[in-house]
A and B are shown apart, each in its own frame.
Chain A
Amino acid sequence: MPVTLEHRAFLYDGIERFLTVAVPYLREGVEAEEAVVVVLREPGLSALRDVLAPFAGQIDFYPSDAFYLHPVRTLKSYQELLAAKAPRAIRALAEPVWQGRTPRETLEWARYESLVNVVFKDADARAMCPYDLAALPPAVIDHARRTHPLLAWDAGTAGSRDYVDPADFGAECDRARRFGDRRGAAYFAVASDDLHALRAFVGGRASAHGLDDPAARNLVTAVNEVAANALRHGSPPVGAWIWSDGPELLCEIGDNGLWRPGPHTGFIPPESALERGFGLWTVRLLVDLMELRTGWDGTFVRLHVRR
């Protein structure tokens, strides 16, 4: 039997029903000597720890709040976890955080769930993602049906009729974006191939916005990469806008060319720096959010960083 990912959303209503499915699922993994990982929100995490106390030491528990901070980094963390546990099969109970997210963040986390099917498609892994029907908005449940090939209830598991190919789902996420105005933006014309002055400009604005040193350096590295790409592959004029929106600092790099990268470009962690997509993936890793907009007026990459 070929090894493939089994990725299912578990739609539950109430902690009792949650436990009747989650406990046997995890126990089965321990008995099969798989690497069993639980990433969960409260109160589910504490409830499971209590019930599964006899298996203490055979299951790794993590709170979701610490694990689901940034979709691109979370994919990377899971990839590292898989590598650390190899060659054992992985069995995960993984609950993302949906509470307190802005609509844009919700969309990026839905995309994340969809990308799990691509990044781990050949992994010897099972992932069950619990969705609390009583607590989550209908839009999130709708995403769950569309991003998980399998759906589970306390009654059993079935294929999801609403499942969407991740490439289509990603394209849909991109279309759903709304780009706000660059209100009060300062503009920097990138007139030379030498990006030294652009870095100094962005670094100065980042410090003035109150970003700490590592965050400011990360933004400078990301802007430099996007601008170098625009100079190399885009069309002049190339320029950068930078502005603040509350705690967020935004920097947008634009050129007059037309760039339509593949739907997963920069989302899939590359094996090495020599692989295509390393630059864009690293840009996504370094900032809170990277958005790409291509239109009649050119290609625009917008980077968001929160102080």
Chain B
Amino acid sequence: MRWASKPVEPAYAEPDPADPDGQAMETTWFAKRPVSDVRPGDHAWLAYSGAEERDRVIGAFIREGLDNNEKVVYVTDTPAEGLPGMRARTSPDLDAFVESRQLRVIPREQACLDAGGRFVPEKMLETLAHEAGQTFGQGFRAVRLTTDHTWVMNAPGRADLAEMLGCEHRFGDTVSPSTMAMAICQVARRACRDDELAALRDTHEVLVEINPEYDDGILKIVRTFDPHGLRVEGELDDVRHAAFADRLGALVRSHHRIHLDLSRLGFIDLGGLRLLARHAAARGGDRTLVLDDLAPAVENIIEAVGWHRLPGIVPGRRRGRPEHAGGRARGTRGEGRCR
């Protein structure tokens, strides 16, 4: 394929300790990026837990491309006006993007199916290469490619895993050295078994996630969807309480449990503990605030004062250990699959 390319350099790597996208039996190294940081050469993976998560990630991916004179190629049977991030667009606006071929919405039949309706990996790769190859000629500075594999994994004539993996590898080999193409491969977590999910994920170097709700370099707050809650990273202190309280307060309160992933929280001040206790008290009843994967710094301070001084707050999942009683057990993700 004749795509502009760059020398191969390894993505900055980090282990995937939280293992949110499958059951890795050994430590695998990935770059994890918020969607706004996806850049040319990224062959990124999004295993989403629901429509809200997918729409917020893919919506931002499409919108930022269109706003920056980049071409967006989406293989889907959903019409342009139904795509994530497009609903707020006025139709003349949308028509202009389609007209100029900046937004290419290509139905599956045309992109990757044979006459019998079967998924043909080679056809998909050719379609994407063709669209990407036209990018500069059409006056765009980069190309963003995305498609949702959920249907392939679920369809009656389901592609076999080896075939999918081969397709992803070849696609990755094409995108990674590129200086102008970036891609997000999507799949609904519940569509695949955990081992399939892990195998597919492992063909990508980049894990993409939602943009943080807040990030000032000291404290970072990221929405989580499965479980419902927030991931809080860095340091939570007095000047950052308001930002955290806002995000916590904005979560849907009807959920029985709100989970806070504190695996990367290096510091919480005593005011932060008071804030959590106030929030838990305001929720009332038996609705709890669950603290998952506590980093030692935070766990030590809570254990020093005693969990009973934080009513309504319970310890949750612990890395490598079973979850607190009453929580969702791990490793049962495949149960809801539709095959």
Interface residues of A (CB under 8 A from B): 76, 80, 193-196, 199, 213-214, 217-218, 220-221, 224-225, 228, 231-232, 270-274, 278-279, 282-283, 285-286
Distance in angstroms between the alpha carbons of A272 and B277 in the assembled complex:
8
Q: A193-B239, A270-B309 are known contacts. Are A278 and B270 too (CB-CB below 8 A)? A: yes
Q: A199-B267, A214-B300, A272-B309 are known contacts. Are A228 and B235 too (CB-CB below 8 A)? A: no
B309 touches A271 (CB 8 A): yes
Q: A273-B274, A282-B304 are known contacts. Are A217 and B297 too (CB-CB below 8 A)? A: yes
Distance in angstroms between the alpha carbons of A177 and B273 in the assembled complex:
32
Q: A270-B309, A273-B305, A278-B309 are known contacts. Are A224 and B269 too (CB-CB below 8 A)? A: yes
A194 touches B239 (CB 8 A): yes
Against A, the Cβ 8 Å flags (1 = close, 0 = not) of B291-323 are 000001100110011101111000000000000
A272 touches B311 (CB 8 A): yes
B278 beta carbon closer than 8 Å to chain A = yes
Main secondary structure of the interface of A (DSSP, over half): helix
Q: Which residues of A contact B309 (CB under 8 A)?
A: 270-273, 278
Which of B238, B273, B278 touches A228 (beta carbons < 8 Å)?
B238
Q: A193-B239, A273-B309 are known contacts. Are A225 and B300 too (CB-CB below 8 A)? A: no
B218 beta carbon closer than 8 Å to chain A = yes
Against A, the Cβ 8 Å flags (1 = close, 0 = not) of B232-248 are 00010111000000000
Distance in angstroms between the alpha carbons of A213 and B297 in the assembled complex:
9
Q: List 26 A-B contacts (CB under 8 A).
A: A76-B306, A194-B237, A195-B238, A196-B235, A199-B235, A199-B237, A199-B267, A214-B296, A214-B300, A217-B297, A218-B301, A218-B304, A224-B269, A224-B270, A225-B269, A225-B270, A232-B238, A270-B309, A273-B274, A273-B277, A273-B309, A274-B278, A278-B305, A282-B304, A285-B304, A286-B304
Q: Which residues of A contact B305 (CB under 8 A)?
A: 273, 278, 282, 285
A193 touches B310 (CB 8 A): no
In the A-B complex, the 6 residue pairs with the smallest Cβ-Cβ separation, listed nearest first, are A273-B277, A228-B238, A225-B270, A279-B270, A272-B309, A194-B239
Which of B296, B297, B301, B310 touches A272 (beta carbons < 8 Å)?
B310
Main secondary structure of the interface of B (DSSP, over half): helix
B271 beta carbon closer than 8 Å to chain A = yes
Distance in angstroms between the alpha carbons of A88 and B297 in the assembled complex:
36
Beta-carbon nearest neighbor of B305 in chain A: A282
Q: Which residues of B contact A80 (CB under 8 A)?
A: 306
Distance in angstroms between the alpha carbons of A213 and B269 in the assembled complex:
16
Distance in angstroms between the alpha carbons of A217 and B295 in the assembled complex:
12
B281 beta carbon closer than 8 Å to chain A = yes
Distance in angstroms between the alpha carbons of A224 and B304 in the assembled complex:
16
Q: Which residues of B contact A228 (CB under 8 A)?
A: 237-238, 269, 271
Q: Which residues of B contact A217 (CB under 8 A)?
A: 267, 297, 300-301
B301 touches A279 (CB 8 A): no
Distance in angstroms between the alpha carbons of A104 and B276 in the assembled complex:
36
Q: Which residues of B contact A196 (CB under 8 A)?
A: 218, 235, 237
